[in-house]
Structures are given as C-alpha cells and as structure tokens.
Amino acid sequence: MEPTTNVQSRAFEIADQSPLPRLTGLPDVSRVQYRPPVAVETVDFDTADRALSSHGILLRRTTGGPSPGWLVTLETAEGEMSATEELTKSDRKAAEGQDANPAQISVPGSLLDLIQAHLRGSQVLPVARQNILHAAVELIDSSGNVIAEIGDDQVAAMAVGTRTQGRVHHRREWTVALKAEFGPEKQADVFLDSVAKVLQEAGATSAPAPADVVDDRPAPIPDSQGEDDTTAVLRAALSSQVERLKAWDPLVRIDAYDSVHQMRVSARALRSIIQTYRPLFSEKEAKELNRELKTLGRILADARDSEVVRDMVDEKVAALPAGTVGTVVSPKIVKHLIRSFDDDYRKAHKRVRKELSGNWYFGLLDLLDGFIENLPLDPELTSKQKSDPASLLNPLVDDQLASVLAMARAVESEPDPIEQVELMHEVRKDAKRLRYAISAVSDSGLMEFDAATDSKMKVAKRLQGVLGEHRDSIMFGEHVLASARQEEKSGGNSFGYGVLFAAEFPLRAKAEKKFTKLVQRLGEE
C-alpha cells in the first residue's frame, strides 16, 4: 500500500443517455482513446452507524474491470488521501460467484488502520452494492501519456443489510480522474475545471456520494436551536481543533512529514482552550479531558523531539564556520548523529502507532466528541452572562497574559541557570496557551477579540517561537553531548562533537535577548 494525498477526481450525474461530449479541445489533450465497456461490481463498507460515510470516507472493494482491488479515500490535513490493496483469494472467489455472502469479506487491515480515528475498533459491514457497466475514454497528451480518464458508467445500486435491500437505484455517472502521469507541473484544478465545464454543458450535474444514493435513513438534525452565544463560540473553537486532530491521524500513521508535530499542536490547542477558559466549564469534565489530552501530548512528545533533533543536524552543520565540516566535524560524526536520532524517532513513532490503535486513544476520541456534543458549561453561569461571550472570555485571556508576564519575571529573577531554563520552558508553554486560546476563538468566526488582544496573540507567537528555538538548541546540545560521551567510552575522538555543542551557546544567548525584549513588549500591549 502506497497512500497518496491530494488525489484529483470528480464525479457527475447525467439524467439521460446523451453521449460524452467532444474532449479533444481540452487543455493538454492531444488525442483520446476509447475503451470498450466492462462489467464491474463494487461493495461499499461502513459501520452500523455510518461513521465513515458521515465523514465523507469511502471504503470500497471492486471486482472486475481494469482496476480491481480495495480502495479507501478520506480527507486529511493535507488533502484527499487514497490508498489501495490488491484483492485476496476470498475476494476473487466472491467475484466468481463462489461466495455470495459479502459479510464474510475480510477488509485489509492496512486500510482499516487509516480510518481508525472514525472506526475506533468498530467492525465494518457491507452497506451498498453497485453493478456497473463501465466504459472509459483516456485523455492523452502530446507525449503519449494518459493524463486522465473519463468514465461513463451505467450504475445499478442497492443497499445491503437494511430494510430497503433489494430496491435497485439506476443512474448514469460520468467521472474524471487524473493519472500520475498528469504531472505536478500542470495545474490540476484548472484542468479539472475545464473538464467539468465541458461535461456540465452537456447536461451533467455533481453526483451525490454513493452512500447517499442507497441510504434512505433520515439525516440527523443538529441540535443547535436556541444555543447561547458562549456555548456556540466554545463549541466551534473546540470542534475545529478536534477535526484537525482527526485529520492528522492518518498522516501520523503513514509517517508523513511533520504530522506528529501537527497532531501534537492540535492536542495542545485543545488543552489551551480548556485551561484558559476553565472557569466556564464544569470542573470535573474539564479536568478529565485535560488530563487525557496531556497524556496524548506525552505520547507524541518523544517522537516529535527525536524528529526535531534529527532534522536539525544538517542545519547545524551547515551553520559552522567554513573549513570546519569535513575536518573537525567529520562526515562520520554527521552520519552517526542522523542515524542515531533517526533510530530514536522510529522507535518512538512505533510506540505512537501502537497507542493510536488502542482502546485508550479510542476512548479519548469518544470523550472529545461527547464533550463537544454536550458542552459542560458551569451550571452557575446565567443566561445573561452566556449571551455575552466577550464579557466572559476577555478577562480570562487577560489572566493568561498576566500568567505569562509573572512567569517571565520569575525567569529574570532566578539566579540558578538550570532552573532559569526550566522557567523559560514554562513561559513558552504559557505563551502557547495564550496564543492558541485567542486564535481558536477568533478562527471560529463567531467572536472577534479587539485589536489589542490580537496584537498580544502575535507577540505571544513570536515569544513562543524564540523560546522554541532556545529549547530546541538545548535539546540538540544534550543529544550531541550524550553522543560525545559515548564516543569517548569507545575510545574515539569527541572533539568534533564538542565543536557542535559549543556552537549552540551564542544561539541561546541571542534567543535570551529576544526573549527579554518580547516580554517587555507583551507587557506594553
């Protein structure tokens, strides 16, 4: 399985038997090639409560036609992801009519893993079956590459396992899917828009999702009528971060670059909302959720820290004075550091994967969903208070700002350098909390802070960044020092490690100066 993101495809429905329009006038298309119709069967899978289709996720098995196999498509933080697996022996038997019971079909575990944030251990069952007569037109560029395929499908769809099983829905679809040969240098959206325009001029309309065609269950009605303004603001702020966390989940599982960091940011943002606005929530529920999110942060921390240090090696080496690299700091040292940090990252990431596939994590996701659905505000808040979220949230933001400034003053008065470093880390966490608490509410679009608060958020972001550089420098230095000591124990020369270690001190001093200036500025805002 090789998951890919930013998959480019679109589907359209056509009400009559009109032929496909002329396609040779499309940009980048030199000629077209028609393929004869073939019989295809698809079976779509979901949970009993439609946890997948309700989030736009498609899990499908296809037999027959040019592309038999398993497919999952879902939206992630980096766009649409698509992953495939080949058919198993039992799948082929089913396709040949030797196994007519789709409930016995075994879905590949690699695909289920990508959607565990929604499945949470629940079983998937067949929910829809489609028999398709599939014809296709290949769009070919001037180099002879097939850059896209237009499908012309006669579809007979029916629900599986519901009271409407056996009721057949007939429709005709046109689909367009870009091929890998389309190339990153071409503008995919522009091309798809051009194809869509041609098809829509021929009478096509956007097609509904497959599950929508065969699922006649009534759609749930959001219970938001009569919701007070404060509840709406906090619910929106929390919901956006929970969805962001879930959107990074599959990317963490395939080890996409920076995904662990981004998932950790979402967990931190959720904690920041709960901690900053804690007086507005019921204490018991808020305390429990904050504790579980803190655990998630710790689970992700080791992998994130190892990733940061590993990716810093080349940058740190490149910043050394000319003539240092290759002589004092040998290629062997650089290679050893990268390999060592990468080994640490892979071990930590394996632990992350294990935790994200366990009941504790599924329970956390359930806890998040339940917290948002039944937002536990402090019962002592009056209707009048809740009708004015600004009057409730602004003082709490001011309290968080005061916490940052108080901690910063403690840094300046602390004589112990080691303790001072730890206090700076606490300032960084407080600055993050301030920034995330403001931005999450502002991004909800339901409440605006005043210009002064927005300015504080920007300064807090800069302060967080400077202290992050300071913290990363310390972390890098500690790992280099550990490697130097290991080299000495084995009888090697650790001088090159010492050069890298010493190079961090002026960087920290520079960050400390910026820290002092930014704290002063934050106090003036």
Segment 222-246, tens digit of pLDDT: 444 457 799 999 999 999 999 999 9
Residue whose C-alpha is closest to residue 335's, from 305, 357, 313 = 313
Confidence of residue 164 (pLDDT cuts 50, 70, 90): low
% of the chain residues with pLDDT over 70: 91
89 band by pLDDT with thresholds 50, 70 and 90? confident
Q: How far apart are CA 315 and CA 318, in angstroms?
A: 5
Cα separations (Å) of 169 from 102, 129, 163, 273, 322? 19, 10, 14, 47, 72
Give the residue among 157, 198, 154 at the shortest CA–CA distance from 176: 198
If pLDDT is split at 50, 70 and 90, which confidence band does 183 have?
low
Asked if 102 and 160 count as a contact pair (C-beta separation under 8 A), the reply is yes
Q: What angle do CA 69, 72, 77 make, to 5 degrees?
A: 150
In the predicted model, what is the mean pLDDT of residues 336-341?
A: 92
Section 43-59 average pLDDT: 95
Query: What does the CA dihedral 381, 382, 386, 389 come to, rounded to 10 degrees?
Result: -70
pLDDT reading at 65 higher than 90: no
Task: Please give the single-letter amino acid code of residue 26.
Answer: L
- Residue 190, burial from CB neighbour count under 10 angstroms (0-12, 13-18, 19+): exposed
pLDDT at residue 5 tops 80: no
- Its pTM stands at 0.88
Please compute Rg for the chain using Cα positions. 28
**Which residue would you say has higher pLDDT here, 180 or 431?**
431
Residue 208's closest CA among 254, 166, 173, 251? Answer: 173
The residue ranking higher by pLDDT, 176 or 162, is 176
Distinct helix (H) and strand (E) counts, the chain: 16, 10
Q: What is the 3-state secondary structure (H, E, C) of 260-297?
A: HHHHHHHHHHHHHHHHHCHHHECHHHHHHHHHHHHHHH
- Per the CB < 8 A criterion, the answer to whether 368 and 292 are in contact is no
* Cα angle for residues 409, 415, 420 (degrees, 5° grid): 60
Location of structure tokens 């079983």: 123
DSSP 80: E
- Dihedral sign from CA coordinates of 290, 293, 295, 300: negative
pLDDT of residue 432: 95
Q: What is the mean pLDDT of residues 47-70?
A: 93
Residue 49, class by beta-carbon neighbours within 10 Å (0-12 exposed, 13-18 middle, 19+ buried)?
exposed
pLDDT, averaged across the chain: 90
